[in-house]
Amino acid sequence: MASNPEAVPSQGADRERQVRTLFSEIAPRYDLLNHLLSLNVDRAWRRKAIDRLEWEREPAGTYLDTCAGTFDLSLELAGREGFDGRVVGSDFAHPMLVEGLPKLGDSPVSSVCGDSLRLPFADGTFHGATVGFGARNLADLDQGFREMYRVLRSGGRFVILEFTVPPNRLVRAGYMLYFTRILPVVGRLVSGHPWAYSYLPESVKEFPGPDGLVERLRAAGFAEAGYALLTFGIAAIHWARKGQ
């Protein structure tokens, strides 16, 4: 495991192993840092993501939240007025799930330790699916999208919430200053991890832009793919639907 603060996970199986280890190690401080480093804006982003899921079409359905971490996105859906279904929160970093379990209470959210590249579910299981701030961590993004397509029912909607690079030059300059100079220092001090929050800006920079992500969704078989930028373009919500 790399100990260099500037280390970035490599590709393929090595990336999968390193990312699992990284999130397992920062699990105890993950929620605190999410809210602190985003100035609490991440809560509003999650609300907007669930707004795009169109769960109202199947309020008693079964939904998947993959790369669920500590279940913030799962609980946002489960807590919606009129929601009468259930949510399965899946993540391959078991300590993240353990950290989030006390938050579940009597909510209709269950947890599964599962890999998003090899989801342990049958074809056509879910009425809808989400991934929040996890897509950029996949060792094989296209395989992850194909798996999401496989486990969705026909007509099921897939929503992605993820960081992106702002299109505006001035916003981008300030964003990258914060992302590359301030965030790694604060993240390292609070989490105690030597390079987890140096990995974050690197993973965003190497991730496909909004238009590129739409093309990847379409290549995986999804239809009606689109996106909306959030907070001056520092994050984006993508959505797509599995055809009938």
The boundaries of the domain holding residue 220 are: 12-241
Per-residue pLDDT tens digits for 190-234: 888 888 888 888 888 899 999 999 999 999 999 999 999 999 999
DSSP state of 68: -
**Token pair of 116, please?**
């998003």
How is 145-181 classified by DSSP, letter by letter?
A: HHHHHHHEEEEEEEEEEEE---SSHHHHHHHHHIIII
Which CATH number characterizes residue 133's domain? 3.40.50.150
Candidates 127, 85, 138; CA nearest to 109 is 85
**140 within some domain:** yes
**1 within some domain:** no
**78 within some domain:** yes
Given this model, what pLDDT does residue 129 score? 98
pLDDT at 5 over 50: no
Which range has the worst mean pLDDT, 57-71, 73-87, 97-111, 200-214?
200-214
**4 within some domain:** no
**6 within some domain:** no
Candidates 77, 52, 83; CA nearest to 241 is 52
Given this model, what pLDDT does residue 18 score? 86
**Token pair of 107, please?**
């909510």
**134 within some domain:** yes
**7 within some domain:** no
Number of domains in the chain: 1
**98 within some domain:** yes
pLDDT at 2 over 50: no
Given this model, what pLDDT does residue 6 score? 41
> Do residues 167 and 238 touch, judged by C-beta distance below 8 A?
no
* Half-sphere exposure (Cβ direction) of 115: Cα atoms closer than 13 Å: 12
3-state helix, strand, coil in the chain (%, to 5): 50, 20, 30
Given this model, what pLDDT does residue 12 score? 56
Rounded Cα gap, residues 16 and 9, in angstroms? 8
**Token pair of 31, please?**
């929620």
pLDDT at 3 over 90: no
Per-residue pLDDT tens digits for 16-43: 888 999 899 998 888 888 887 787 899 9
Q: What is the pTM of this model?
A: 0.92
